[in-house]
């Protein structure tokens, strides 16, 4: 074996390919055919979208687990451990299993005398698929990393595709408008197979691509919908052929999470002939789901709320959730973002909710400097109370030391920001 530890493998992969991101399926498909020249051993669900992918994948996993099925889940990015990306039956893959998969991939990419270069993400995707094909689960659930059409997970044909939402993000790779971005994400569709759109305001490009490839499109508020139930904690879902009442709200908060859940139930219905799930199992799955870093409330003095919101649409959802909760004190923000985000548009929704800003340098590739984010906030509100720090840790420590009783510390802006906060054990 080339390396004996998972971290050694990951360090090597980070420098193996000249580009961190290189969209395209030719190289990764060629390697995977060397490993598994057969079709997937079970139904495949592929989930794309700008926001809501991770929550939808977690909901699908929880529901199918509750129904007694053997599940395989690939998602990204991780927060604390690389192993979080690869789940078998809701358990993280071991270091040993991942290293062994990496070794098989390394051998496959060297076969034939022509070395095939792979990115860090492509290595991880292939490892997940290799582990899944060997385990032969009942269902494989894949989260698209970037876009859809050219993302590595798209080497498998989805039995059901799901698209959660379309917003402006990753414009360097996907395009500058929702129609272009929607077309890229629509690339996970397949002929004569269902595709579920769970977001609001679907771009025309998604319907056009579904028609072009012959996919069967199910659209929220047209082919399925959700409504509030009789009690505040319940909701109702219905499609053209079925209705589910008295559904419990999950631990994932906000109406946008009900959009995700409604789409997930449509996916479950589309696969009902292969994987049947009853009402009780759906309720259990909804109540059991948990996703770190999605409005994750950590009780303490002060309370911390961790949220990976990092673009305009997701930060607007975070602002809405803050407005719906009673806070006895003030909201203060610990913010760290990547440089390639639209900071002005993204942060404007949070301004009315934040009393003081503790802004951190994000010491990662593409990380933004605190001073630049401070300029954006002051451009939006010249009277904003802003302090800059060299790290997320220092920003959190300052926020905690100055917070009064009943204040809330909102940590957001990037997966990395939440990861650094979680490493502190707050």
pLDDT of residue 301: 86
Spatial contact of 306 and 334, defined as CB atoms under 8 Å apart: no
* pLDDT-wise least confident of 174-178, 298-302, 315-319, 376-380: 174-178
pLDDT of residue 137: 98
Write the pLDDT tens digit of every residue in 30-60: 999 999 998 999 999 999 999 999 999 999 9
Write the pLDDT tens digit of every residue in 344-380: 999 999 999 999 999 999 999 889 999 999 999 999 9
In angstroms, the CA 243 to CA 224 distance is 9
List the CATH code of the domain at 296-423.
3.90.190.20
pLDDT classification of 19: cutoffs 50, 70, 90: low
* pLDDT-wise least confident of 97-106, 224-233, 258-267, 283-292: 224-233
Describe the strand order of the beta sheet including 224-228 as a list of residue ranges.
224-228, 234-239, 243-248
Tokens of 258: 């009900």
User: Is 20 a residue whose pLDDT tops 70?
Assistant: no
* pLDDT-wise least confident of 108-117, 130-139, 338-347, 397-406: 108-117
pLDDT of residue 21: 64
pLDDT of residue 18: 59
User: Is 194 a residue whose pLDDT tops 90?
Assistant: yes
User: Is 62 a residue whose pLDDT tops 70?
Assistant: yes
Task: Delimit the CATH 3.40.1190.10 region(s) of the chain.
Answer: 6-288
CB atoms under 10 Å from CB of 228, counted, come to: 13
Tokens of 208: 């056009």
User: What's the whole-model pTM score?
Assistant: 0.93
Spatial contact of 419 and 310, defined as CB atoms under 8 Å apart: no
pLDDT of residue 171: 63
When comparing pLDDT for 175 and 199, which is higher?
Answer: 199
Spatial contact of 140 and 57, defined as CB atoms under 8 Å apart: no
pLDDT of residue 327: 84
Q: Please give the average per-residue pLDDT across 151-174, as a whole number.
A: 88
pLDDT of residue 5: 97
User: Is 290 a residue whose pLDDT tops 70?
Assistant: yes
Q: Please give the average per-residue pLDDT across 302-309, as a whole number.
A: 95
Class of domain 6-288: alpha beta
User: Is 314 a residue whose pLDDT tops 70?
Assistant: yes
pLDDT of residue 169: 73
Helix axes 279-288, 255-270, angle to 10 degrees: 140
The rounded mean pLDDT for the chain is 94
pLDDT of residue 217: 98
pLDDT classification of 174: cutoffs 50, 70, 90: confident
Task: Delimit the CATH 3.90.190.20 region(s) of the chain.
Answer: 296-423
Spatial contact of 217 and 224, defined as CB atoms under 8 Å apart: no
């Amino acid at each position: 074996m080339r390396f004996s530890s998972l971290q050694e493998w990951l360090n090597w992969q980070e420098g193996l390919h000249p580009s961190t991101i290189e969209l395209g399926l030719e190289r990764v498909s060629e390697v995977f055919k060397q490993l598994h020249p057969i079709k997937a051993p079970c139904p495949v669900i592929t989930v794309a979208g700008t926001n809501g992918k991770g929550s939808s994948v977690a909901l699908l996993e929880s529901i199918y687990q509750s129904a007694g099925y053997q599940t395989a889940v690939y998602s990204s990015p991780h927060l604390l451990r690389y192993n979080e990306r690869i789940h078998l039956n809701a358990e993280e893959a071991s270091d040993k299993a991942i290293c062994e998969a990496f070794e098989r991939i390394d051998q496959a990419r060297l076969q034939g005398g022509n070395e095939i270069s792979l990115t860090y993400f492509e290595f991880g995707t292939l490892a997940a698929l290799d582990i899944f094909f060997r385990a032969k689960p009942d269902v494989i659930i894949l989260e698209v990393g970037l876009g859809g059409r050219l993302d590595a997970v798209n080497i498998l044909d989805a039995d059901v595709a799901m698209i959660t939402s379309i917003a402006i993000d990753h414009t360097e790779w996907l395009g500058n408008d929702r129609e272009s971005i929607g077309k890229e994400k629509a690339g996970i569709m397949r002929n004569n197979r269902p595709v579920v759109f769970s977001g609001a305001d679907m771009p025309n490009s998604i319907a056009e691509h579904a028609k072009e490839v012959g996919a069967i499109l199910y659209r929220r508020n047209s082919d399925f919908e959700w409504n509030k139930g009789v009690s505040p904690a319940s909701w109702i879902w219905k499609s053209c052929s079925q209705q589910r009442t008295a559904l419990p709200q999950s631990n994932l908060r906000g109406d946008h999470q009900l959009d995700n859940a409604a789409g997930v139930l449509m996916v479950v219905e589309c696969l009902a002939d292969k994987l049947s799930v009853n009402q009780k199992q759906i309720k259990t799955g909804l109540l059991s789901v948990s996703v770190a870093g999605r409005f994750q409330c950590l009780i303490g003095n002060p309370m911390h709320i961790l949220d990976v919101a990092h673009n305009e649409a997701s930060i607007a959802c975070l602002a809405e959730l803050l407005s719906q909760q009673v806070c006895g004190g003030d909201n203060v923000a610990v913010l760290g973002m990547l440089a390639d985000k639209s900071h002005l548009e993204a942060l404007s929704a949070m301004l009315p909710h934040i009393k003081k800003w503790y802004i951190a340098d994000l010491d990662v590739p593409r990380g933004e400097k605190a001073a630049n984010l401070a300029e954006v906030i002051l451009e939006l509100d010249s009277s904003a109370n802003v302090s800059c720090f060299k790290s997320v840790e220092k920003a959190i420590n300052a926020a905690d030391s100055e917070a009064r009783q009943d204040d809330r510390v909102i940590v957001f802006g990037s997966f990395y920001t939440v990861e650094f906060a979680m490493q502190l054990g707050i």
